[in-house]
Amino acid sequence: MYYYRNHILNNQLIIINNAFGATVKPTDNLCFFKIAAYKNSKYFSQDETIRVYADLDDRLIFLDRLNLEKDWKDFRISLKKLKGKKFRIALYGSIQDNCQSYIGIDHTDYETCPFEREATELKVTDTSFENCQTGCLDIHNRNSEIHNSVWLERLTFNQNHPIIESSSLINIDLHSAYVLVRNLNIPNLNNSHVIQVHFNSTFESRISNLVFTQNSITNLYESSLLRMNNYGINNATVTFDKCNIQHSKSRDYLIYIENADISFTNNLLYNNTAQGNLLYVNSNSSNTNISLNTFIFNKKDPDEGNDAVITSVSRNLYINNNILNNPQTPYEVAYSLQNADFQSGNCQYNWWGSLDIDKLGKRIKDGKSLEGSPILQFVPILQSEPLSLATSGSCVLGWKFIRGSCYHFHVGAGSKAEAEIWCKKNSAFLLTEEALRAVDRLTDLLRYTDVDGNTKVSDIWFTNSPSQLSILKPWICGKSSSELNRGENVTIPVTPYPDETVSV
């Protein structure tokens, strides 16, 4: 079977742009579409491709773009997006309009999904770890045929010395897994990692998923928070959401994620120092979404170097609706892909602590086009700090202004006594159940995505909760905005970018 473009046959110009496969039923257990293809052209062009879509009657879903060569090449396209759906494969050819050329395809077929054994499950909850000599938690499963589900929730680590025989509090090494890490409370750590996650699946049909949400990390010293590597041939996703990370110093990257689709949202990173980058995403073929975060007054150590707060290697990169105000770093954002590799994305609608467009342009380091314009467009910018984020003027850092009051969601888990002491120390009150039911936005703070993909709500301490010594929970403190300067909250100074004058 062949596509022809500008091909003369019997003095007739023949144009065949697309072809469709047979209909696949929702009950068919198919994981991959396979095809062999090549091109024959007088001129070399990177634009000669086949675009593969799934036709679902009412819409097309893009699956892959096949870059063709002059020799036959086999391709294998994942159908993971189409599980349980009725569809047919649609192929669209794209080759040169101004020369005689054609594309050939053959050996089209489907590959069924491999047999999977029943998943194994592990749950570790409501536990305090004290001065682990080696890794506090080491989770391994070498059976490549088993998919794993792991819940690590409401854990406290009190570590007054470095780990001597293992580099991390939590080590996870699994072929494929769904992993939820929620409500960690780590008040200090020296010369160690908090968590390392390695996926090594040999089944391309499986998706590994790490959800790292509602965790409180403070006062790390010469330590990193998360190092996640996907070494398998499968896809992986990382959801990093609603974490509070303050006053920490990393000897390398604070957060490093490799070969995964990333959603990094609703986090606060304040007054952290890194010898490398605070957030480094090394996922050339994946998608990265960074939104609704507060990155404020983080620093680079040592001062020299070209590192940024956020560095990404992603074909599709969106950085939107964040606060990015870190004058003591060389760059706010660094992006290393060149124009030929970049597919989509922008860095728009962020608050940068300044309205000077020329100076803000120098805070972004990315590959430039031949004309010198940046790949990542950052204009338009927000004209002021978004009130929904953590440094709005009505409340101090880390507190949310909601319906006339300031609220703080203490994401790290602790006892009820610890919750009451924390709120009192900050001139606030522990939330009541009635207040939670009356204010929908407070419930939004508590929502998270479980390993099964469903949205759930964290259980928290209330004023009238019975004390349970063996149970750890997060909590919400509240106070009126007129009391925001009471307690031991942090007051954020105005810090200009270098050579920038701020009028008050």
Q: What is the tens place of the pLDDT at every residue in 274-303?
A: 888 899 998 876 789 999 999 999 998 766
pTM across the whole model: 0.74
Q: Give the pLDDT confidence of 449-482 residue by residue, as tens digits.
A: 888 778 999 999 999 999 887 789 999 999 976 5
Least confidently predicted of 166-170, 412-416, 496-500: 496-500
Cβ atoms of residues 219 and 191 within 8 Å: no
Higher pLDDT residue, 498 or 74? 74
At residue 101, the pLDDT reads 67
Tokens encoding 482: 């007129």
Place 496 in a pLDDT band, splitting at 50, 70 and 90. very low
> Which of these, 81, 77, 80, 83, lies nearest to 65 by C-alpha position?
77
- Chain mean pLDDT for the chain: 81
Q: Is pLDDT at 186 greater than 50 in this prediction?
A: yes
What's the pLDDT score for residue 387? Answer: 67
pLDDT at 1 > cutoff 60: no
pLDDT at 491: 35
Mean pLDDT of 178-185: 95
Output the pLDDT for position 6. 39
Do residues 180 and 451 touch, judged by C-beta distance below 8 A? yes
Beta sheet of 400-402, edge-to-edge order: 400-402, 405-414, 473-480, 429-430
| pLDDT surpasses 80 at 370 | no
* Rounded Cα–Cα distance for residues 347 and 332 (Å): 11
User: To the nearest whole percent, how much of the chain has pLDDT over 90?
Assistant: 38
Q: Among the listed ranges 100-114, 359-373, 420-434, which one has the minimum average pLDDT value? A: 359-373
Find the mean pLDDT for residues 419-423.
95
Q: What is the pLDDT of residue 151?
A: 96
The pLDDT assigned to 500 comes to 35
What pLDDT is attached to residue 304? 57
Query: DSSP code of 440?
Result: H
Q: Are strands 405-414 and 473-480 parallel, antiparallel or unpaired?
A: antiparallel
